[in-house]
Amino acid sequence: MICLDLGHLIFKGGQTNIESQPQKDVFYDAKSTIDDGNDADYIPIKIQLENIQLLYLNKEENWNELRLKQDSPSHLIKPITLTLDFFKSIHIDDTKIPIWKGNAEVSTIESHISDTRLFGLLQVIYTIPTPEIGQRDEKEVELNLLLKNKERPPSTKHTYETIEKMTPVKKILYEQIEEEEKTNRAQ
Q: What is the pLDDT of residue 47?
A: 92
The answer to whether residues 105 and 142 touch, using CB atoms and an 8 Å cutoff, is no
Q: Where are the beta strands (DSSP E) in 14-171?
A: 42-56, 75-89, 100-106
Each residue's pLDDT expressed in tens, for the chain with a length of 187 residues: 888 888 889 988 876 545 555 555 544 444 444 445 566 788 899 999 999 998 888 788 887 788 888 888 888 888 899 999 999 888 888 888 888 889 999 988 888 888 888 888 888 888 888 776 655 666 677 767 666 655 566 678 877 777 777 777 777 888 889 999 998 888 7
Contacts of 33 (CB under 8 A, 6+ apart): 101
The answer to whether residues 100 and 37 touch, using CB atoms and an 8 Å cutoff, is no
Overall pTM surpassing 0.75 (yes/no): no
For Cα atoms 99, 101, 104, give the angle at the middle one, nearest 5 degrees: 155
Q: Report CA Rg, the chain.
A: 32
